[in-house]
A and B are shown apart, each in its own frame.
Chain A
């Protein structure tokens, strides 16, 4: 199925032969995988398998040693981080990274895709369009009532949502989430799953996650990584039944 689609070239993201080595240690080793538009892909695997590194490579935080990352036909490996963002790739980090000194509104406003140059930021006006977009996203991420709170006063889970909101307002084609439910309460987890279901209607999403139940809830397809390589790929049932996966990951 992959081979047939590959010829059509209609993947949103095509990662081929991706390798990165840190002082000889190959954190990601000759990795290839493909994402369809509107697909929800979850990457799982034991600690140190290279999951987060894959996200780092796609968003430009880490530079690939060899290999190619094609996103909507554009080669990302040569671009700078902010240029990759402008191509339509959004990245959420594992620990919530929001601007604590600013309010929720300002956090979202900063992420609104306009006025990204120095002069643009100087001339930026908070017009009705911006306010509408911020309110809309705030409603999606359950933070409508907290718009004027400083982000520092939010709970851990709310910060995670805010960061997801900061991605949403960028209107990216690809959202990459690194352990979005880590450290969340059960109630927050449920709400996050609900949030992701809303998001995934309009976006392609690549998630790194450990929580297998959560993975089962959201994933179209699952990629299992081990020691920088792909161990197995397919539906959640498929990988759960794969003896290799049970051996290195699920069995423990």
Chain B
């Protein structure tokens, strides 16, 4: 990104929305919440990674994955495996019949570390695996589905099936995965105790930083021609194909992108919460993730972040006082969103609040839009096409 354009962008309306979110996450929440609540907010934000991926995959490209928990879980398990190995030093596990292996393996009569656990001694490998493993699985699922032109509801059902299979696999292979309890009792990351209040604070800020990295990555894809192809593909797949694009390749790409985001979110979840279990992988968890995205607005990456924060805050609030009501509230919320405002909070914001903003700041919508359009950055030479500027940039993707 060129510096002058970046400064210009921060002054634009879209830039202001990003600044406001950054202020909320970096200043307001840390100042108003106690460390426990802040850590909870961090946990909610890890779901926002998944929701951003779903905006790209479902909102933009029309591929509804009901199995994002798979990728969230894989990222989370990769991180958990590393932390578990670090916590399972021979000294710390000296009471086991085989010291030096994770406790649940010992309980399940395993006497040595399975081969696929070995590389997770390396932190570098773990970091690569957090993105690589989810992306690899997404690549396999995407390739088998999309090159055969499986789409729509059939694809959604397939992702549900994979989520179910993975859950059953994790629960069934207790000795290798920790089973239904998951991988628990995680203590340190490279010797740094992640259970203290100050560590939780630091992890929260790392999470926010990574979230913004993912937001900007998603934003860049949206603003490029690639983003417009995704939108075009959603409505007119055949036309995209006959405009010379290999539709399957683009679907695989966006599905893998969403998987990568989810993997990062899962890894941060493990760090913040201190454990990983199959309940975050399964069908219910995956559908909840779709609800975060739908409520926030499935066309808006910023909306998805707010959606993840709000739904999870509501979930904690409600289930603390009325645990049995929450599933019904969640169901009602989803039905409400689909029936009443299909574009979620971001859609409501665009319809009702933005016109108000326009009046308050006395900006004409056209000006406001065109000065924010990042398409300018992409243009090789702005000089060559003066007079075109304000006009071609008018198509601006969803903001807020």
Contacts and interface: CB of A to CB of B under 8 A. Distances in A.
A117 B249 contact: yes
Nearest to B249: A118
A187 interface: no
Nearest to A80: B246
Interface stretch (B19-27, B260-268, B351-359, B387-395): B387-395
A184 B392 CA distance: 28
A93 B238 contact: yes
A85 B250 CA distance: 17
B95 interface: no
Contacts of A105: 392, 395
30 contacts: A61-B242, A80-B246, A82-B241, A82-B244, A85-B243, A91-B242, A98-B236, A98-B239, A99-B231, A99-B236, A99-B239, A101-B232, A105-B395, A110-B229, A110-B243, A111-B244, A113-B244, A116-B245, A117-B246, A117-B249, A121-B250, A122-B225, A124-B225, A124-B378, A128-B380, A128-B384, A131-B385, A148-B394, A150-B395, A166-B239
B394 A103 contact: yes
B243 A170 contact: yes
Interface in B185-225: 221, 224-225
Contact of B244 (A106, A116, A123): A116
A69 interface: no
A7 B229 CA distance: 43
B224 A121 contact: yes
Interface residues of A, number: 42
A179 interface: no
Given A121-B224, A128-B380, A128-B385, A61 B249 contact: no
Contacts of A150: 395
A252 interface: no
A122 B236 contact: no
B392 A115 contact: no
Interface in A99-141: 99-103, 105-106, 109-111, 113, 115-118, 121-128, 131
A246 B124 CA distance: 77
Nearest to B246: A82
B380 A131 contact: no
A66 B224 CA distance: 41
Contacts of B242: 59, 61, 81-82, 85, 90-91, 93
B235 interface: yes
Contacts of B250: 118, 121
B375 A118 contact: no
B381 interface: yes
Interface in B364-392: 375, 378-381, 384-385, 388, 391-392
B36 to A, nearest CB: 41
B392 A148 contact: yes
A62 interface: no
Interface residues of B, number: 35
Contacts of B378: 124-126
A170 B391 CA distance: 23
Contacts of B388: 131
A97 interface: yes
Contact of A99 (B221, B232, B380, B392): B232
Contact of A97 (B224, B239, B245, B391): B239
Top-7 shortest CB links A-B: A85-B244, A124-B225, A121-B226, A99-B232, A97-B239, A127-B380, A128-B384
A148 B373 CA distance: 14
B371 to A, nearest CB: 16
Contacts of B380: 125-128
A106 B228 contact: yes
Contacts of B247: 82
A147 interface: yes
Contacts of A110: 225, 228-229, 232, 240, 243
Interface in A41-86: 59, 61, 80-82, 85-86
Interface string B25-58: 0000000000000000000000000000000000
B253 interface: yes
B147 to A, nearest CB: 10
A108 to B, nearest CB: 10
A126 B392 CA distance: 10
B228 A125 contact: no
Given A121-B224, A131-B385, A103 B392 contact: yes
Question: Among the interface residues B229, B249, B375, B381, which one has the most CB atoms of the partner chain A within 10 A?
Answer: B229
Given A116-B246, A131-B385, A150-B395, 19 more contacts: A59-B242, A61-B242, A81-B241, A82-B241, A85-B244, A97-B238, A97-B239, A99-B228, A99-B235, A102-B231, A110-B229, A115-B225, A121-B229, A122-B226, A127-B380, A128-B380, A131-B388, A163-B239, A170-B244
Contacts of B246: 80, 82, 116-117
A147 B392 CA distance: 8
A54 to B, nearest CB: 16
Contacts of B226: 118, 121-122, 124
A86 B244 CA distance: 6
Nearest to A118: B253
Contact of A101 (B221, B224, B231): B231
B396 to A, nearest CB: 11
